[in-house]
Structure 1
Amino acid sequence: MSMSLPPPRVTDPAAFGRVAVLLGGDTSEREVSLDSGAGVLEALRSRGVDAQPVDGVPALLAALQAGRFDRVFNILHGGAGENGTVQGLLDALGVPYTGSGVLGSALTMDKIRTKQVWLSEGLPTPRYERLAKGADLRAAAARLGYPVFVKPSSEGSSVGVFRVLSEADLAPAIEFASRYDGELLMEQMVRGDELTVGILGDIALPSIRIVPAGEWYDYHAKYVAEDTQYLCPGLDGEDEAAIRDLALRAFRAAACSGWGRVDVMRDRERGLQLIEVNTAPGMTSHSLVPKAAAQLGCDYAGLCWRVLEQTL
């Protein structure tokens, strides 16, 4: 299945005016966001864009009230950057920004509600239990059946994720749940291939199959390890067409737009299973959307340009 990206809509960097690259913030994903933001900033400047870093939402608000910027490249991972807060602020101020709007951002930041929407649309996703504060994790795992994953419903970058193969492995997750104030998601573990599909506008990019050197794709494998393999495209022929179609349908069902990434597992028995959507994907040296865009001849700087074009 051959495909290509359409040509850029504009070639003059002056068309973007003054661009704030929103990064950092105060969430558990701060360091990843700083890394992503540094890459985006360098890429935009290499193309002649007047881009400046802005660390966190209070600094952004002050800068916009002072009239310093015309648009925002949002690479603030987690928290206010992805839960609809920044999007609502920028909508209220009439400032264009990259990525999904309020609804898509808020919905997909919550993994449980995203799954509820997908199920209502008949889209495949693993069985799960919603765990409120104080919930009985042992009882939930018994209902689902081992193995399971336990993770916060509204965090990213594999923060606070526990892989539970049997009841003997449940203690760390129970201890974490006792300290964590938000909802947790317990999800049936899918045994099979781990894949992801980047979305750019109305195009699903080539899938990537992730093959970590360890047993699973955790925070270390994502951001530190140099021996994780990324196979792109991740599937062949009709299977590749099917995963791209599913990812695009899932992205749209969750009211997302602009750009993002849909994580998918391929179960040996149940086929493709949707896991989650990321509306401000990583843009570090290890990140996946740039790898997929490169398969279509679009380098990192070109990808940043195309994402920013969507604000025009």
Structure 2
Amino acid sequence: MKIAVLYGGVSKEREVSISSSKGIMEALKQNGHDVIGIDFHPNQLDEIINLQVDIVFIGLHGKFGEDGSIQGLLDMLNIPYVGSGVMASALAMDKFKAKQLFQTENIPVAKGNKYRMTKQTNIEAIIDDIHAHFTVPFVIKPNREGSTLGLTIVTEQAQTKAAIEKAIKSDEFILVEQFIKGKELTVPVMGKINEEQALPIIEIIPKNDLYDYESKYAAGGSEHIIPARINEELTEKIKQYAITAHQVLGCETYSRADFLLSDDGIPYILEVNTLPGMTPTSLFPDSAKKAKISYAEMIEHFIQLTVR
């Protein structure tokens, strides 16, 4: 097939997207497809409008890639693409909305609240409200952002204002959540609609105190333990939570759900990634490898699921 891979983009995750897409394009070529790469920019939409391909593989991350925007454009052009559609992409990107849906399925979520920050917002009133409802430590992060960009763990109230100012550089909506101490876990999900399966759960041990951008994408930034060191009953529960989260958002083909397993054994879902990273250090390919699925086989499986 003739396949276009969209990469780059204009979000803060541009470099991650380029790295992911390089691997995707190499795998597609290895599988015998005719591949073209497009460094996507919203000011050059004619490249998308005039596309003559069988299918698009979206290798973008963040704004305009993961939020439903490019999916909407491709839908209007009647161009098939790999992965989730407009609604699921937008919902998953909106962490607060996604959490509300997870709660309807009895998936544990951290206590949290969303605040809109505009030029007219009284930031001191927001700070007072946060302090009235959350005790330190708590987390402040952009509501619609990935790769822990703009995130702060507030350990004393004096840090709140700076944490808000950091978060609103990425999004006018901020999310404040209780801080949960525990194991970082992630669960890749893939398969036909309503027949999805979870791949082996990964336990993540970051080299830094926080599983931040550097820990995720720098070589040696984190250690991946596959399968995670948890009992079989908990493993199956978390896998089912990941599949249910994928389905309740309306995701398609593949996704990856991130969890924090608290010290008292409660797996809190953090978010679902509809376009998880596919870089050499990424989690999804690592889990697939443990399930005896090579990188190239994994990419081809996504293509075939989409075609079917």
- Is the pair's TM-score, using the shorter chain for normalization, greater than 0.5? yes
RMSD: 1.8
Partner of 2:203: 209
Aligned-partner residue type, residue 308 of structure 1: I
Partners of 2:206 and 2:222 within 8 A in 1: yes
**Using the alignment, how far apart are the partners of 2:239 and 2:185 within structure 1?**
11
**Using the alignment, how far apart are the partners of 2:33 and 2:19 within structure 1?**
19
Alignment of 1:267-282 (within 5 A): 267-269=262-264, 271-282=266-277
**Using the alignment, how far apart are the partners of 1:175 and 1:58 within structure 2?**
27
**Using the alignment, how far apart are the partners of 2:214 and 2:42 within structure 1?**
30
**Using the alignment, how far apart are the partners of 1:35 and 1:179 within structure 2?**
24
Aligned-partner residue type, residue 199 of structure 1: V
Partner of 1:109: 93
Alignment of 1:152-167 (within 5 A): 152-167=142-157
Partners of 2:164 and 2:174 within 8 A in 1: no
Partner of 1:62: 46
Please identify runs of 4+ aligned residues in structure 1 that moved more than 6 A: none
Question: Is 1:184–2:174 an aligned residue pair?
Answer: yes
Partner of 1:222: 216
Partner of 1:232: 226
How many angstroms does 1:200 deviate by?
1.1
Q: Among all aligned residue pairs of Structure 1 and Structure 2, give the percentage whose two residues are the same amino acid.
A: 37
Partners of 2:151 and 2:167 within 8 A in 1: no
**Closer/same/farther in 2, CA of residues 301 and 162 from structure 1, 3 Å limit:** same
Deviation string 1:226-275 (CA, Å, 9 cap, x unpaired) is: 15111111133111111111110111111112101100111123611110
Partners of 1:194 and 1:265 within 8 A in 2: yes
How many angstroms does 1:89 deviate by?
1.4
The number of residues matched between the two structures is 296
Aligned-partner residue type, residue 230 of structure 1: H
Partner of 2:304: 309
How many angstroms does 1:142 deviate by?
3.8
**Closer/same/farther in 2, CA of residues 141 and 219 from structure 1, 3 Å limit:** farther
Counterpart pick for 1:285 among 273, 276, 280: 280
Structure 2 gap ranges (5+): none
How many angstroms does 1:139 deviate by?
3.0
**Closer/same/farther in 2, CA of residues 236 and 198 from structure 1, 3 Å limit:** same
Deviation string 1:157-184 (CA, Å, 9 cap, x unpaired) is: 1111111122243343033256565100
Partners of 1:153 and 1:184 within 8 A in 2: yes
SS at match of 2:187: strand
Which stretch shows the higher mean deviation, 64-73 or 174-183? 174-183
**Using the alignment, how far apart are the partners of 2:27 and 2:171 within structure 1?**
38
SS at match of 2:275: coil
Structure 1 gap ranges (5+): 1-16
How many angstroms does 1:63 deviate by?
3.7
TM-score normalized by the length of structure 1? 0.89
Aligned-partner residue type, residue 14 of structure 2: R
Aligned-partner residue type, residue 98 of structure 1: V
Counterpart pick for 2:255 among 255, 260, 271: 260
**Closer/same/farther in 2, CA of residues 289 and 167 from structure 1, 3 Å limit:** same
How many angstroms does 1:59 deviate by?
7.9
Alignment of 1:47-196 (within 5 A): 47-56=31-40, 58=42, 61-133=45-117, 134=121, 135=123, 136-177=126-167, 182-196=172-186
